[in-house]
Structure formats: C-alpha cells, structure tokens
C-alpha cells in the first residue's frame, strides 16, 4: 500500500493538535483548580457535584434560619425576664396589700404602684422586634397586640392571633421563633357586652392586676385576684422555660449542621478539586511530548527525494 506524503504529514499534524488539546485541557484545570471543566468530562461526577453544592446551600440556609430564630427568641427571653420581674414585684405588693394592718390610704398607694407596673408590663407585651414587628401578635405582626378597652372598664383587648411562626432549621426539624400574646399573657375579655370574669377565674394578667388594684383602692382586696396573678406569673415562667429549651435546640442543631456541612464540603473537594501535584506532572509530560512531536515533524518534513536529486 502506498502512503502519500500528504497523508503522513496530516497524521502528524492531527497528532500534534490532539496533544495541544490535551495540554490546553490541563492548563485550564490548573488555572481553575477543578478536575471537571464541563459536565461532559464526567457526567456522573458532575451530577454528584451539583447535589453536593445544593446540600451545602441548603444547610447554609438552615444556619441562617437558626441565626434569625436565635435573635428573636433571645429578645423574647429578655422581654419575658422583664415581665417576670414585674410580676414578682406586683405579687409582693399584692401580699402587702392583703395585710389587715394596711390603712385605706396605704392600700391606695400600693394599688397605684401596681397600676404603673401593669402599664410597664403591657408595654413589654407590645414590644417590637428588630424588624419593627410586634413580638406577641402571632402572624398579625404589624398589629398592636394588647390595649385597654375604653368601653368596658377593667377589660383589655387582644388584636393578634394565636399563631406562631415555625422556622426550618433542618430538613425534618422546625422551631417556632416566638409565642402569641394570648398564650403568654392570657386571653382578655374584650369589648362590651363581654363581662370581666370574677376573681379566681381571670386568665388575662392585665385584667387580673386591674381587678386586684380596683378592689384594693376600694379597701376590699380579694385574695382570689392574687391567685390569678400567681397563675399568670407561672404562665410567663413556663413560656420562658420553653424559649430556653428552643434556644438550646438551636445551639445543638447549629453544631449538627456545621459538622454536616464540613463533611459535605470535604466530599465536594474530593469530587471536584484538582490534584495539583498530579496535574503539574501531567502538564510537564504533555509539554515535553508536544515539543518532541513538533521537532520530529520538522525533521521529517525535510525528508524528500528532491533533496537528493
């Protein structure tokens, strides 16, 4: 079979072009630090890399959610701590007010202080978070939750709802980032014709305090009202305990997510990161091979019978 000079030269050129292509591939890998430059280089590995990147982004979102939830719950814990201290002081004053040694004027003075503390307590119940949302309004976060009802003496109103907002902190785990005011401070009576319950059965803390101070000013304090205040204090304390448990859950989940993210990034690195030592060695070999092929082609190209005629 006769082999033409043009075919021989074209074969050599194709070989050099192929080596140049492989060399360029290695150069691109070295410049990007990645094994795969296109999905077609290794489709199965490319799919795995996409999945790993998605897992990392999802976990990072969970971590961001944890940070948000922690901020809100920490603020709520501070508000509940203040509410607890106020209610403890109100309870102390209530015990003093029930003492038979008090004069009517002394009871009025005690009731006046309790009224002021009740206003402070309602101010805490109407606290806004860092986003300007009312902390205890449930989903109706732009609505003032608690207010004194001007049409129904001794009654208060709640304009929020009973919902609490769950935040995803893991694929299968949620934590609520707050509590509705009705579950923390009790459900109030509302406007007329609703009737404020009798002492001993008042569930709303503001109404319980208001009823106690009203009777105290009339020099007819009722210990049942103090029991209502005690129950309200227990409810606030229980809510604060729940907030603390959720904060602990966030800390634990954050640690779990951090470990999972580290493992995922390690797997991603193994799947896509370039082994520089191997790539540099391969680059040197490919460069030497290409140079040798080019030199050989130059020498072979000079071979011709015409040179000897």
Specify the pLDDT at position 280: 73
pLDDT, residue 49, reads 82
| Class of the domain covering 52-265 | mainly alpha
Angstrom distances, CA of residue 84 to CA of 104, 151, 202? 28, 29, 18
**Residue 309 reports pLDDT greater than 60:** no
Tell me the per-residue pLDDT of 163-196, one tens digit each, with 9 for 90 and over: 999 999 999 999 999 999 999 999 999 888 888 8
Q: What is the mean pLDDT of residues 42-58?
A: 86
User: Greater confidence, 21 or 230?
Assistant: 230
Judged against a pLDDT cut of 60, whether residue 308 lies above it is answered with no
Mean pLDDT of 45-61: 90
Per-residue confidence (pLDDT) for residue 117, from 0 to 100: 98
Instruction: Tell whether the model's pLDDT for residue 248 goes beyond 90.
Output: yes
Q: Write out the H or E segment, with its range, that includes residue 174.
A: strand 173-176
pLDDT at 217 over 70: yes
Question: Rounded distance, CA 111 to CA 194, Å?
Answer: 25
Are the C-beta atoms of 118 and 210 separated by less than 8 Å? yes
The burial of 17, by beta-carbon neighbours within 10 Å (0-12 exposed, 13-18 middle, 19 or more buried), is given as exposed
- pLDDT at residue 21 above 80? no
Q: Name the percent of the chain lying above pLDDT 70.
A: 76
pLDDT tens digit string along 24-45? 666 666 667 676 666 666 787 7
For the chain, the distance separating the N- and C-terminal CA atoms, rounded to the nearest angstrom, is: 25
3-class state of residue 70 by DSSP: helix
Of the pLDDT bands very low, low, confident and very high (cuts 50, 70, 90), residue 161 is very high
Is 71 buried (19+), middle (13-18) or exposed (0-12) by CB count in 10 A? middle
Rounded to an integer, the average pLDDT of 237-251 is 97
Q: What would the mean pLDDT of 276-295 be, rounded to a whole number?
A: 66
Distance CA 178, CA 75 (A): 10
- pLDDT (average), residues 139-145: 95
Residue 58, pLDDT > 80, answer: yes
Average pLDDT, the chain: 86
Q: What would the pLDDT profile of 106-139 be if each residue is shown by its tens digit?
A: 999 999 999 999 999 999 999 999 889 999 999 9
């Amino acid at each position: 079979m006769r082999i033409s000079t043009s075919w021989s030269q074209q074969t050599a050129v194709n070989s050099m072009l192929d080596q140049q292509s492989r060399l360029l591939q290695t150069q691109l890998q070295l410049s990007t630090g990645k094994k795969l430059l296109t999905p077609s280089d290794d489709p199965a590995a490319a799919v795995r890399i996409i999945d790993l990147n998605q897992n990392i982004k999802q976990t990072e979102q969970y971590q961001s959610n944890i940070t948000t939830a922690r901020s809100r719950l920490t603020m709520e814990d501070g508000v509940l701590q203040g509410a607890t201290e106020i209610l403890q002081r109100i309870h102390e004053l209530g015990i003093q007010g029930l003492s038979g040694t008090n004069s009517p004027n002394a009871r009025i003075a005690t009731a006046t202080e309790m009224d002021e503390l009740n206003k402070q307590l309602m101010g805490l119940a109407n606290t806004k978070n860092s986003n300007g949302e009312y902390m205890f309004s449930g989903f109706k976060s732009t609505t003032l939750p608690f207010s004194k009802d001007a049409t129904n003496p001794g009654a208060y109103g709640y304009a929020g709802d009973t919902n609490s907002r769950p935040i995803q902190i893991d694929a299968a785990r949620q934590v609520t980032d707050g509590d509705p005011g009705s579950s923390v401070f009790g459900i109030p009576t509302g406007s007329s014709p609703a009737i404020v319950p009798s002492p001993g059965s008042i569930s709303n803390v503001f109404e319980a305090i208001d009823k106690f101070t009203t009777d105290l000013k009339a020099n007819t304090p009722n210990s049942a009202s103090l029991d209502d205040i005690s129950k309200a204090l227990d409810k606030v304390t229980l809510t604060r305990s729940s907030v603390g448990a959720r904060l602990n859950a966030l800390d634990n989940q954050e640690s779990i997510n951090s470990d999972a993210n580290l493992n995922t990034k390690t797997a991603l690195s193994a799947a896509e990161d370039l082994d520089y030592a191997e790539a540099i060695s391969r680059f040197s070999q490919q460069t030497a091979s290409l140079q040798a092929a080019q030199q050989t082609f130059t020498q072979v190209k000079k071979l011709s019978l015409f040179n000897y005629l």
